[in-house]
Amino acid sequence: MNCVWEVARQADQCGINREKLRFVNAEAPSPYLEVNGEDLNPRELYETEIPVNPLYRFHSVFQKMYSFEFRGHEQIRDLLLDITMHYIVQIDLRSGMDKRSYYEKLLYTDFWEGVFGEREKKELQLFSDGQQRRVLKFLIELYQSQNYMQVFRRILKIIYPHSILYTSQDRANEVLLYIGVKRDSAEEQKVSFLTGTFLPFYTRIHLFWNHHFGIIGVDETLEIDQTILY
């Protein structure tokens, strides 16, 4: 989380009124970040006082106000910074939103409010913010194209770069899916979300986690203790 508008969106997701957010000048601001919290990528917003570096994007605006040569009027400066940052948040959130971004926001709201189900809501939260945006993007593409397998293959490769998807030539609607990561509860839920969201319900799926099934003639899949049978 880098910019102030991301804090505002996270506040919305956590049910926190944006007016309760208070932007303050960070004591030791990083020159590479606008938001200077202790956690760079918090999954939830716990504090409403947000330390920021006002010079990160708006050096020409704030340089005189926060230069080392300027002293006094701290309360007025702090109040002005907070008001200005709230105004900047509104500008950021209302600029650069195209039709697809608008649909993504509506989809995310539906997921967050449990329209698609409480299980799906919890499973989506297991993905990082960037991955969530990709999921919503490809879900809209799926609605438009109806090409389940192609869209699923693309989003799968983004979430699991080492994954491989095989489609059966003999049995319709049957796929073999190698994930390429160790199996645990969180990964199971994420894969369940992807397969349940992007593939038709009648698809028969055979999952393989960190061990690939053996393929005759492909030495990489025939290593001892690294191969399973199908």
pLDDT at residue 154 is higher than 90: yes
Residue 2 identity: N
Based on the fold, state whether residues 36 and 148 are members of the same structural domain: no
Based on the fold, state whether residues 34 and 145 are members of the same structural domain: no
Based on the fold, state whether residues 171 and 114 are members of the same structural domain: yes
83: CB partners within 8 A, 6+ apart: none
Predicted TM-score (pTM) of the model is: 0.55
Q: Using CA atoms, how far apart are residues 230 and 220, in angstroms rounded to an integer?
A: 16
Based on the fold, state whether residues 42 and 142 are members of the same structural domain: no
Residues spanned by the domain of 149: 99-228
- Which sign, positive or negative, has the C-alpha torsion 176, 142, 2, 6? negative
- Name the CA dihedral angle for 19, 114, 130, 163, rounded to a multiple of 10 degrees: 170
Based on the fold, state whether residues 136 and 187 are members of the same structural domain: yes
Do the beta carbons of residue 174 and residue 199 sit within 8 Å? no
Looking at 38, 60, 94, the residue that finishes a domain is 94
Question: For residue 39, what is the DSSP state?
Answer: -
Among 9-13, 109-113, 116-120, 191-195, which range has the highest average pLDDT?
A: 191-195
Based on the fold, state whether residues 195 and 119 are members of the same structural domain: yes
pLDDT at residue 139 is higher than 60: yes
Q: How high is the mean pLDDT of the chain?
A: 83
- Model confidence at 217, pLDDT cuts 50, 70, 90, reads very low
Based on the fold, state whether residues 116 and 64 are members of the same structural domain: no
Based on the fold, state whether residues 112 and 11 are members of the same structural domain: no
Based on the fold, state whether residues 113 and 84 are members of the same structural domain: no
Q: How far is CA 99 from the centre of its chain?
A: 19
Based on the fold, state whether residues 206 and 160 are members of the same structural domain: yes
| Cβ neighbours around 35 below 10 Å, total | 22
Q: What is the pLDDT of residues 160-195, one digit of tens each?
A: 998 988 887 777 789 888 898 999 999 999 999 999
- Model confidence at 122, pLDDT cuts 50, 70, 90, reads very high
Based on the fold, state whether residues 63 and 166 are members of the same structural domain: no
What are the start-end ranges of the E strands in the chain?
22-25, 49-52, 164-167, 174-178, 204-208, 212-213, 227-228
Query: In this predicted structure, what is the pLDDT of residue 83?
Result: 93
Top-confidence residue, 99 or 73: 73
For a pLDDT cut of 70, what percent of the chain falls above it? 86
Based on the fold, state whether residues 136 and 194 are members of the same structural domain: yes
Query: In this predicted structure, what is the pLDDT of residue 77?
Result: 85
Looking at 94, 116, 150, the residue that finishes a domain is 94
- Total domains in the chain come to 2
Looking at 63, 94, 125, the residue that finishes a domain is 94
Mean pLDDT of 51-74: 79
- Which sign, positive or negative, has the C-alpha torsion 25, 30, 35, 39? negative
β-bridge partners, 207: 177
